[in-house]
Amino acid sequence: MVDRAVDAVGYQAVDASGSKEKPNIVLEQIIKVTRPTGGLGIPGLYVPADPGAPDAQSKEGNILIPFGKLFEKGLHLGTGQCNVKAYNRYLRDLIISGRAKPSFVVSHEVGMDEAVNAYDKFDRRVDGYTKVLLRPNGPLEDWVGK
112 and 68 in a common domain:
no
Same structural domain, 115 and 69: no
Rounded CA-CA distance 61/69 in Å is 21
pTM of the model: 0.66
Residues 13 and 74 in one domain: yes
CA–CA separation, 71 and 66 (whole Å): 9
Q: Which residues contact 123 (CB under 8 A, 6 or more apart)?
A: 51, 52
In a domain, 89, yes or no: no
Distance, CA of 48 to CA of 58 (rounded, Å): 9
Are 63 and 19 within 8 A, CB to CB?
no
Over its length of 146 residues, how does the chain's per-residue pLDDT go in tens digits?
Answer: 999 999 988 878 888 888 888 989 999 999 999 999 999 999 877 888 888 888 898 889 898 899 999 999 999 999 988 788 888 999 999 999 999 998 888 888 888 888 899 988 888 878 788 888 888 876 665 555 54
Domain holding 52, by residue range, is: 2-79
Do both 72 and 117 map to the same domain?
Answer: no
Domain count of the chain? 2
φ, ψ for residue 74 (rounded to 5)?
Answer: 65, 40
> Does some domain include residue 61?
yes
Q: What is the pLDDT of residue 98?
A: 92
pLDDT tens, residue by residue, 85-103:
888 999 999 999 999 998 8
12 in the same domain as 57: yes
Return d(Cα 53, Cα 55) in angstroms, integer. 6
Task: Give a yes or no: residue 122 inside a domain.
Answer: yes
